[in-house]
Amino acid sequence: MSAPYKPVPEAALAGSLRDFRSPAGADLMARVTDFYAWQDLRREHDLWPYARSTSTAPTARCEARSDTGDAFSGINFASQDYLSLSSHPAIKQAAIEAIGKYGVHSAGSAALLGNTANSLLLEESLSSFLGGRQIVLYPTGWAAGYGSVQGFVRANDHVVMDILAHSCLQEGAKAATQHIHYHGHLNLDAMTRKLERIRADDPHNGILVVTESLFSMHSDTPDLAAMRALCDQFNATLLVDCAHDLGSVGEDGLGHLGLQNALDDADIIIGSFSKTFASNGGFIAVKTKAAAEYLKYYSATHTFSNALSPVQAATVLTALQIVRSEEGRTLRRKLMDNILYLRSQLANAGLETLGDPSPIVPVRLGLEGVGRFASRHLMALGGIANLVEYPAVPQGGARFRFQVMASHTHEDIDQVVEILAKAMRDADLEYRLGHEGDQDPVLSVPSATPEVV
């Protein structure tokens, strides 16, 4: 193993964030201490891989710190910068010029005086990119997702939602109505049954069907045309969250909306700028001016939040120009080449990837405890990727989520696959040392130990 074995308490390998979601007791502050004790036990044994920070730009190789301040560095597959635009010279220059002209802060809600000329130009450019839709900007992608549901759905309406829809969509639905109907992931038959039951009981109120064009924990996508047909059949509205593939996938950068020729199928499109467009922020795109104006005054995360800063708006505008250019097409081709190469090298190493080719490459781990050991070893060996465990994914379905960038090289990928394979073998062994009675393998890992660079 990459570090001497030392016993780890079972409590640090078991449990999840869900266990502490609903603490009991009258003292709101005192009742959170059980969570902190569990978290700190994991931290004590280097099994808490969250809240890390970069010490350099989030490039293909970077320096970082753990949440306790320990420094580490490595090959970075943990940042969401798919086209590697966050350090692009034109992006940085646009930000500098925006600061010089407008300062750094919007200083107001977009409903009041928070917009700048940059915001208005960004709305126009996004509208052109998305076929002439009306655009409403939000300060974060999460705010856009929440506001897209909360802004339109009312108490008597219904939301039919994929069980793996993002937190922002689920929380927006909870804020809007009690009539939330979850269906199995990408299960059109289950979705159909939900719609049939709703319309049999309620022919009058609205139904919002919610999905994502690329699900970020599984790297898979729905059949958007089939969903559009079901929405037409049951008089429902279709919302598609394009946070992870818009700009980064497809020759035209329209993601699966473009690949499936489904741009017009979605009634509501939402997106985030934080994955491809080098900034915080998000948007909602709708087909009518009336719908856009309604959102501006009834979507709480728009009305009661400060607008995008002039720097953010300028950054996204420049990123969008690159996305739509020949340079953008070249970057997307380089990104897809890296994606396919990573997946092939992982398969050659005997490691299991999930889903379809996209900037997200999930690598199956299995048990949460094994995943925690694997994350520790990966970081120690010079690889950086995000551990995802229950409840973000099904119990026993822990995985690494590798996030690929256009600026990665094949050498980066070769090295990180070697590191990952060793980290997973070390995790398997370390877990076994603490569970010597177990008979079955806890991980499916390659038998040969590669040389670690």
Residue 44: per-residue pLDDT:
94
Within 10 angstroms of residue 17's Cβ, the number of other Cβ atoms is 14
Quote the pLDDT of residue 155.
98
**pLDDT digit string, tens, across residues 255-264:** 999 999 999 9
Residues 6+ apart with CB under 8 A from 109: 302, 303, 304, 305, 306, 307
Domains, the chain, in order of start with CATH, read 44-76+327-434 (3.90.1150.10), 89-323 (3.40.640.10)
CA distances from 221 to 38, 245, 291, 399, 417 (A): 35, 10, 27, 19, 25
The CA distance from 373 to 5, in Å, is 11
pLDDT at 207 over 60: yes
Question: What pLDDT is attached to residue 434?
Answer: 76
Q: Tell me the pLDDT tens digit for each residue of 212-259.
A: 999 999 999 999 999 999 999 999 999 999 999 999 999 999 999 999
Query: CA triplet 287, 118, 279: central angle to 5 degrees?
Result: 85
Q: Is 227 helix (H, G, I), strand (E, B) or coil?
A: helix
Q: Is the peptide bond before 4 cis (omega within 30 degrees of 0)?
A: no
Tokens for 414? Answer: 């070769």
Q: Which residues are CB-contacts of 349 (< 8 A; sequence separation ≥ 6)?
A: 417, 418, 420, 421, 446, 450
Please determine, for residue 2, whether its predicted confidence score (pLDDT) is greater than 50: no
Which residue, among 246, 235, 240, 189, has the nearest Cα to 210 in the 3D structure? Answer: 240
Write down the pLDDT at residue 4: 52
pTM: 0.91
Q: Which two tokens stand for residue 280?
A: 């915080």
The answer to whether the CB of 86 falls within 8 A of the CB of 277 is no
Kindly state the average pLDDT of the residues 281-294: 98
For residues 151 and 388, give the distance between their C-alpha atoms in angstroms, rounded to a whole number: 30
Q: What is the rounded distance in angstroms from the CA atom of residue 419 to the CA atom of residue 221?
A: 29
Mean pLDDT of 174-198: 98
- Quote the mean pLDDT of the chain: 93
What is the rounded distance in angstroms from the CA atom of residue 417 to the CA atom of residue 349?
A: 7
Cα–Cα distance for residue pair 144/133, rounded to 1 Å? 16
Is residue 443's pLDDT more than 70? no
The pLDDT assigned to 446 comes to 39
Q: In the prediction, which pLDDT does 1 show?
A: 47
78 vs 49: CA distance, rounded Å = 11
Q: Considering the chain, what percentage of its residues have pLDDT values greater than 90?
A: 92
